[in-house]
Structure 1
Amino acid sequence: MQVVVPFSATDPKTRLADVLAPDERREFSLAMLEDVLSAIRATGQEPRVLTTSSIDIDAPQTVDSRPLTPAVNDVLAEGEPTEPTAIVMADLALATPEVLEQLFSTAGDVVLAPGRGGGTNALVSRHPDFRVDYHGTSYLDHCRIAGDVGASVVEVDSHRLATDVDESGDLAEVLMHSDGAACKWLRKAGFSLSVTEGRVEASREQRIEEKNR
């Protein structure tokens, strides 16, 4: 199985701009990528990073500056017909070897791990004609695309794979459910868990505005 991890190296995680400065967003994104790569390697697979520009990381990488959909579709098109291809997003900081092994070993032409908002956080394709479309509610689009090419679809229901870290509200999930590089980065940056009106949130000891003065 080839396992590919797409990574946006240019101005990543813009929806975290309310709590992280641009350089911090890049550092945090790389920490999450490190966690994902480590979890994949622990399953016995050797991941390859599909990055928009070259990055300093200990992993094979392919540079493709195009948007996510055409870049991933080229990976699928160029794969060996008899070799499954897994696409695992780089912001799944909660991913563990156990849930990734479940994804990789689940039988089906197309195996999908949907995100909480209807996206597709990870998938395995064993069908030569399956292609992706990551715009909008891509989970539904991928179910339709699979049906169009006659591919069976199986869903992997996992909180850890469903949780992609895009917004400030997601940081609490990392602090609660991970002890990897991303969690350590957040704690070093001054984030900790707090309870506000009955909700668990990630709060920062030093606000970004104060840090940049």
Structure 2
Amino acid sequence: MRVLVPFDTQSPKTRLAPALDAAERELFAKRMLADVLAAIDATPHDPLVLATGPVETTTPVTQDERPLTAAVNAALADADKPVGVVMADLALVTPAALDRLFGLADGAEVVIAPGIGGGTNALVVDQPGFRVDYHGLSYRDHRRRAEELGATAAVVDSYRLSVDIDRPADLREVLLHADGSAAGWLEAAGFE
């Protein structure tokens, strides 16, 4: 299965500005992306970075300058199904957490990993008409959309998939629960 990993190369992670300057946010975002890609690589699935600009990685990259929702919907429309979508700021993600997400797709056309606060942090879609909308309470909206389409849906309850790193307070979760390059970068930058 192809797994899309959306990544914003232009001013990433602006809500971390109280803790990290622009250059630091860019470096940290790249480290989180690397951790997410490594976790996907440890599963039997194939990551594809869906980026707003060039990205240095050995993983295949498709560039799409459109906003997140439009870019993901275009990729979903063109992709063979099923297709996964995993956000690039899931610094706590592990191959085991992803295996749980991907495994639920055997019995459901839409699998959703909700984020803390009501967002959608990861999906597996095996329903041709399903489209995303990442604004507001997207978890609720994606469940409703699946229901409207008559698609079978499943929800994966996973701490590691629910925590996206958006705010300065989230950085402690990386230090406490991750051991990848994002955690190493924070430690090297003096975070405790």
TM-score by length of 1: 0.88
Q: 1:200 aligns to what?
A: none
Query: Which secondary structure state, in structure 1, belongs to the residue aligned with residue 71 of structure 2?
Result: helix
Distance in structure 2 (CA, Å) of the matches to 1:172 and 1:6? 23
- State the Cα RMSD in Å: 0.7
1:1-213 equivalences under 5 Å are 1-80=1-80, 83-106=81-104, 107-192=107-192
Query: Which secondary structure state, in structure 2, belongs to the residue aligned with residue 117 of structure 1?
Result: coil
Distance in structure 2 (CA, Å) of the matches to 1:41 and 1:156? 20
For residue 78 of structure 1, report the CA deviation from its aligned partner. 0.6
Q: 1:204 aligns to what?
A: none
The share of aligned pairs that are identical, in percent, is 54
Distance in structure 2 (CA, Å) of the matches to 1:115 and 1:67? 19
Distance in structure 2 (CA, Å) of the matches to 1:12 and 1:74? 21
1:46 counterpart letter in structure 2: D
Distance in structure 1 (CA, Å) of the matches to 2:110 and 2:116? 19
Distance in structure 2 (CA, Å) of the matches to 1:91 and 1:152? 27
1:187 counterpart letter in structure 2: E
Unaligned runs of 5+ in 1: 193-213
Q: 1:202 aligns to what?
A: none
Unaligned runs of 5+ in 2: none
Runs of 4+ in 1 over 4 A off after TM superposition: none
For residue 62 of structure 1, report the CA deviation from its aligned partner. 0.4
Distance in structure 2 (CA, Å) of the matches to 1:16 and 1:103? 27
Distance in structure 2 (CA, Å) of the matches to 1:85 and 1:44? 13
Query: Which secondary structure state, in structure 2, belongs to the residue aligned with residue 191 of structure 1?
Result: coil
Deviation digits for residues 119-159 of structure 1, max 9, x if unmatched?
00000001111110001000011011111111111100000
Query: Which secondary structure state, in structure 2, belongs to the residue aligned with residue 102 of structure 1?
Result: helix
For residue 7 of structure 1, report the CA deviation from its aligned partner. 0.3
Distance in structure 2 (CA, Å) of the matches to 1:168 and 1:23? 16
Distance in structure 1 (CA, Å) of the matches to 2:87 and 2:185? 19
Structure 1 or 2, whichever has the larger Rg, is: 1
For residue 46 of structure 1, report the CA deviation from its aligned partner. 1.9
Distance in structure 2 (CA, Å) of the matches to 1:142 and 1:148? 10
Distance in structure 1 (CA, Å) of the matches to 2:16 and 2:125? 31
More deviation in 53-62 or 114-123?
53-62
Deviation digits for residues 50-69 of structure 1, max 9, x if unmatched?
00001112210000000011
